[in-house]
Structure 1
Amino acid sequence: MNKLKYAVIPLVLLVGVAVYLASQMSFGPTDRVLPGVYLLDTDLSGLTEEQALASIQKLEQKFRQPIMVKYQEFSWALPMSRVDLRIDCSKQVQRAMKIGRTGSLWQRFTERRQAFEGLHLKPVIFLDILLLEKVVDEAAEVIMVTPKDAGLIIHADNSVEISPSHSGKLVSIGQLEQDIKQTLLSNAKEPIELRLIEVPPNRTTEAVQEMGVDTLLGVYTTYFEPDKINRAYNISVAAAAIDGLTASPQEVISFNEVVGPRSTEAGYKDAPIIVNNELVDGLGGGVCQVSTTLYNAVLLSNLEVVERTNHSMPISYVPIGRDATVVFEAIDFKFKNNTDYWIYIQSYSRGGQLTVKIFGNKSYKRDVVLRSWVEETYQPENVVEKDYSIKMGDRVVKQKGAQGYKASGERIVMQNGKVIRVEKLPGSVYKAKNQVISQGMSPPGSILENPDMSVNKVPEESLE
């Protein structure tokens, strides 16, 4: 009898639950939200998926209305439409449709009971934190203080001064994001009180002082023709890339890594470059003048040269043997800050002058003299080419020759008027440029055409 009693009790409870579900809570059509389901205060009871989506989208639009914020006596309206505020509407519809229809029997029973009593779901609200920060920066500029990094001020006389840092006071964007979401979810009417937090500078005055930059180590200037607009422009772009460059103690600097590819996207234009001992138009012509000027400034600053390559022919803006060519991803100029303090580079071009200055610690200041000279001279050869566009017997110089050179140099380092070191500079070899002579091969009175050659025809009246 007792066993039967214990077996009947669960059955009675199950029947009771079923009766309760049937009598007090509507199961509702399967294609509609159960009665009593809300998204916050938006009633979704009995709505189809399309109807529920439309209702939730209206709620999303309501959330995008401006929200009032304040700080002490100041107040503003922050436009939520500008911060990409949104609800995952489709996901919320599916969430509402599943209430009381998925999971275990007990879960369904629990959810249906909650719906019968009124189940208010809370949506997940998304917004773009970066856009919010931008909107706040614009609206609340009057109450914020932007942190200032310490820096170096270089005066006209090359003296160095430290520009001090200071902390800032900015709106706590993370806290504001939470407050906005809570305000929307709770339908609060009071303005949100902004909270300001102290923000330290990224670079403090003490950090800049520890860099130890307090004097000019070396400076070098080269000259160019400003009326060659494209080349002058390229020089200014490359000079700007290294302006403000800093290097920590023992750091190796790569010119190509700093300046980057010479491309139209980077702002470079076509101008003459040296290719195989000839000047041809190429993207970024003029950049080598910046690397060369930097090379000489590095030498005069008594810094270590790690990698340097000369041009294929001497250039006019520096003494022979003191140039440094660069080709992105092929030929680089590298140097090392071989001091125990930071260095700072200032680079600018104006009025046909390109100047590079290197600043560092005065304990490494030395007087430097650079010397370079020609050790060997290579004479060009005469190369004769047959030309069927020129009458027989005539000879025309197609390409003028140029001498080649082997150049050497040295860096003389002095302190207190005494020579403390003489260092050999990287050697330079400039190949001779052959003179090319076109030998006329056309018989008098006619021009022979060779299908394998490009022939520049000469007017008949010019023939003898």
Structure 2
Amino acid sequence: MTGSKEVKNKKTIIIISIVALVIILSLSAYLGYIYKYTLGWNNIIYSDVKVESIDLSAKTKEEAIELLKENYGDAILNKKLSVKALDNNYEMDYSKLESKYNIEEVVEEAFDYGKDSTMLGKYKILKSNSGKEIDLDFTYDPTYIDEFIEEVSTEVNVAPTNAKLSMPSSGNFNVSEDKSGYEIDKEALKNDIVANINGKVDEKVEIEAKVDEIKATVSAEELSKINSKIASFSTKYSHNSTNDRAVNVELATNAINGKVIMPGETFSYNDIVGERTVEKGYRNAPVIVGNKVEDDLGGGICQVSSTLYQAVLRTGLKSVERYNHSLGTSYMPLGLDATVDFGSSLDYKFKNTFDSPIYIEGVTSKDRVLSFNIYGNSASTGRTYEIVSEAYETINAGVKNVEDPNLPEGQTVVEKNPINGTKVKVYRKVYENGVLIDTEFLSNDTYRSIDGIVRVGTKKP
């Protein structure tokens, strides 16, 4: 019995050994197969690995890079972003944005997927088709956006054109039409572009640019309201006037002629006439400086400002800024003058408070008469005005005696006669249909006195 049992045990051992050997051989063969199978994927991307839905299974790095460049890298450079502004379309090239994807980086990630697993882990990944999907990162250089917007703005933006008024003959006007301008909203356009730039190669992007219409500040409708002469005033610059002074008067008058003052605008004599320079043709001529008269560049132009002042007063408009001379003038009664001096605080200004524009016509004639005609809307001519100057105080001038050793003792010579000063109040009387309805106080002016000089002889016989 014992021997039989031993034989049986030996058989069992042999069977187990054979089975174990078979298992070992089978396992070895299986592992060999797995090893060989996974080894075949060592230099290629594992199955079911996708980038932006493109299957990179079994692709080498080079093949994967080439495939992604073809579908994304090159495609994105050909993409356009369209901007519509008014009736025109402008295309922004993605190539100029230096658009790109992180293709090499993503391919590296795709290639490395699963490679750090065990052999069985790699086999499981390959056979399960569990794979992985990786997104590309899209980047661009925003510098070109500003350049593109400037290019579009250069073509779209246009300044409005104001209507213009011309007077081919005195009192007859021609008015050109005004045109609106356009200006693109750069900030809004940039925000829209940035919000719509993306890496979707098949997406078409169209943006409607916000363009603002800019109305002309001077319309033909407004200028057409000028239809009547509402005031005028003239002075002569022929008496005791040198040719140089006449030239200055004519230059300043020409600078003002044709000016249109819109409702609410303020006229500034110094701004309109500008600096009086030799380059502009101005000459030296007598001017009042303090309590004496001396030659200076532009002498005589205060007659222009004074004549304009009187014309404006007769429209009913009020002065914003006006100064009288220190001494009386030969061309204007006391209180009715307006002195100016470029570069100092002396200016003549008035504001157009009418609801319609006014036009200033400045004329100088051959016989040296300076005239300003002011045109406006006929609705503003219902009233007439009278300017009244009232001297209410005399400032007595003194006499200064100066000893003169060249004159015989007791002899006197009047070198300069004294000139009394005057204080003057000026009013504007307002008439409607010939009836006085108001008297407006305009100014309280002081004109200096000039002391006389008498030379007294002190020379002994």
Q: Deviations over 1:255-278 (max 9, x none)?
A: 111111122122210111111222
* Partners of 1:379 and 1:403 within 8 A in 2: yes
Asked whether the equivalents of residues 166 and 258 of structure 2 are also in contact (C-alpha less than 8 Å), the reply is: no
CA positional deviation for 1:331:
0.9
Once residues 401 and 436 of structure 1 are traced to their aligned partners in structure 2, the CA distance between those partners, rounded to angstroms, is 7
Task: Tell me if 1:213 matches 2:230.
Answer: no
Partner residue, 1:234: 248
Residue among 359, 362, 374 paired with 1:358? 374
- Structure 2 contact 245–286 (Cα < 8 Å) conserved: yes
Matches within 5 A, 1:49-448: 150-153=164-167, 155-156=169-170, 158=171, 160-165=172-177, 207-211=219-223, 212-225=225-238, 228-328=242-342, 329-351=344-366, 352-365=368-381, 366-444=383-461
Q: What displacement does 1:320 show?
A: 2.0
Distance 1:276 1:166, change over 3 A: closer
Q: Counterpart of 2:252 in 1: which secondary structure? A: helix
CA drift at 1:229: 0.5
Shift of 1:155: 4.1
CA distance change for structure 1 residues 270 and 304 in 2, over 3 Å: closer, same or farther?
Answer: same
Identity %: 34
Q: Does the CA contact (< 8 Å) of 1:150 and 1:203 recur in 2?
A: no
Amino acid at match of 2:353: N
1:420 CA displacement: 3.0
Alpha-carbon displacement from aligned partner over 1:371-404 (angstroms, at most 9, x marks no partner): 1121112221011122334343332222221121
> What is the aligned-residue RMSD (CA, Å)?
3.1
Give the C-alpha shift of residue 239 in structure 1.
0.3
Alpha-carbon spacing, 1:275–1:318, altered in 2? closer, same or farther (3 Å)? same
Q: Return the offset for 1:292.
A: 0.2
Offset from partner CA, 1:56-95 (integer Å, 9 cap, x none):
xxxxxxxxxxxxxxxxxxxxxxxxxxxxxxxxxxxxxxxx
The corresponding residue for 1:76 is none
Matching residue's letter, 1:264: V
Offset of residue 288 of structure 1: 0.3
Q: Secondary structure at the match of 1:262?
A: coil
Distance in 1 (alpha carbons) for counterparts of 2:178 and 2:450? 60
Secondary structure in structure 1 of the residue aligned to 2:174: strand
Name structure 1 gaps, 5 residues minimum.
7-146, 168-201, 445-464
Compute the displacement of 1:148 (Å): 11
Contact 1:162 1:208 in 2 (8 A): no
Which amino acid is 2:226 matched to? V
Give the Cα–Cα distance (whole angstroms) in 1 for the partners of residues 413 and 309 of structure 2.
40
Aligned length: 269
Deviation at 1:304, TM superposition (A): 1.1
Distance 1:380 1:210, change over 3 A: same
CA offset at residue 166 of structure 1? 9.6
Return the alpha-carbon distance in structure 2 between the equivalents of residues 300 and 250 of structure 1: 18
Structure with max Cα Rg:
2
Deviations 1:186-232 (A, max 9, x none): xxxxxxxxxxxxxxxx989x923323211111100000117620000
Output the CA distance in 1 between the equivalents of 2:268 and 2:165. 23
Aligned equivalent of 2:115: none
How far did residue 297 of structure 1 move? 0.4
How far did residue 428 of structure 1 move? 1.4
Aligned-partner Cα distance in 2 for 1:369–1:322: 12
**Aligned residues of 2:323 and 2:340 also touching (Cα < 8 A):** yes
Change (3 A) 1:269 1:390: same
3-state DSSP of counterpart to 1:293 = helix
Q: Which runs of 5+ in 2 are unaligned?
A: 1-38, 44-160, 180-214
User: Aligned partners of 1:406 and 1:166: how far apart in 2?
Assistant: 49
Contact 2:266 2:351 in 1 (8 A): yes
- Structure 1 residue 249, shift from structure 2 partner: 0.8
Separation (CA, whole Å) in 2 of partners of 1:383 and 1:354 = 39
Equivalent-residue separation in structure 1 for 2:178 and 2:326 (angstroms): 51
Which AA in structure 2 matches 1:435?
Answer: G
Does structure 1 retain, via aligned residues, the 8 Å contact 2:252–2:301? yes
Note if contact 1:308-1:426 (Cα within 8 Å) is conserved in structure 2. Answer: no
Alpha-carbon offset, residue 238 of structure 1? 0.5
Return closer, same or farther for 1:334/1:240 CA change in 2, 3 Å cut-off: same
Q: For residue 310 of structure 1, report the CA deviation from its aligned partner.
A: 1.0
1:108-148 alpha-carbon deviations (Å, 9 max, x no partner): xxxxxxxxxxxxxxxxxxxxxxxxxxxxxxxxxxxxxxx99
Aligned partners of 1:377 and 1:404 also within 8 Å: yes
- Structure 1 distance, partners of 2:385, 2:168, is 22
Deviation per CA, 1:14-63, whole angstroms, max 9, x where unpaired? xxxxxxxxxxxxxxxxxxxxxxxxxxxxxxxxxxxxxxxxxxxxxxxxxx
1:218 partner letter: A
Task: Supply the distance in 2 between the matched residues of 1:401 and 1:154 (Cα, whole angstroms).
Answer: 50
Q: Give the Cα separation in 1 of the matches to 2:338 and 2:316.
A: 17
The alpha-carbon deviation at position 296 of structure 1 amounts to 0.1
The 1-side partners of 2:427 and 2:162 are apart by 44
TM-score w.r.t. structure 2 length?
Answer: 0.53
1:426 alignment partner, SS class: strand
- Counterpart code for 1:436: I
Q: Compared with structure 1, are the counterparts of its residues 429 and 155 closer, same or farther at alpha carbon in structure 2 (3 Å cutoff)?
A: same
**Aligned equivalents of 2:435, 2:410: Cα separation in 1:** 65
One-letter identity of the residue aligned with 1:344: Y
Alpha-carbon distance change, 377 to 337 in structure 1, aligned in 2, over 3 angstroms = same
| One-letter amino acid of the structure 1 residue matched with residue 288 of structure 2 | I
Answer yes or no: is the 8 Å Cα contact 2:163–2:220 preserved in 1.
no
Contact in 2 for aligned 1:344/1:359 (Cα 8 Å): yes
CA shift for structure 1 position 342: 0.9
